[in-house]
Amino acid sequence: MKIPFGTTIHYKELATRVGIDKAYRAVARANGANQISILIPCHRVINLNGDLGGYGGGIQRKAWLLKLEKRALEKNHLLERQTE
């Protein structure tokens, strides 16, 4: 829940955040099993190489959610620039 809207982190970074550096595979499995992804945005966690990795809702949905967030941030940034 501490991954900001429109950003991503790697599974390895998430494992480090929870205090178990080498548990990135367990973190990935737990992330993929997230039953409440609407409340806990697990789609923001990606593979170290930048690939999307698994997602309980399907890779296509994960990609769509990330694109949606990126577009929202870009739109907001454009609106802010227009009001300056």
Q: Where are the domains of the chain?
A: 9-83
Between residues 11 and 40, which one has the greater pLDDT?
Answer: 11
Q: Shortest CA distance to 43 belongs to which of 5, 84, 81?
A: 5
Which residues have CB under 8 Å from 65's CB, separation 6+?
A: 41, 43
Mean pLDDT calculated for residue range 22-48: 87
Percent of all residues in the chain with a pLDDT value above 70, rounded to a whole number = 92
Q: How many residues does the chain have?
A: 84
Which contiguous run of DSSP H or E holds residue 9?
strand 9-10
CATH topology of domain 9-83: Arc Repressor Mutant, subunit A (1.10.10)
Is 30 tagged catalytic?
no
Catalytically annotated residue among 14, 15, 28, 42: 42
- Tell me the pLDDT band of 43, cut-offs 50, 70 and 90: very high
CA angle 35/42/2 to nearest 5° reads 120
Mean pLDDT of the chain, nearest integer: 88
Distance CA 56, CA 74 (A): 27
**pTM score of the predicted model:** 0.77
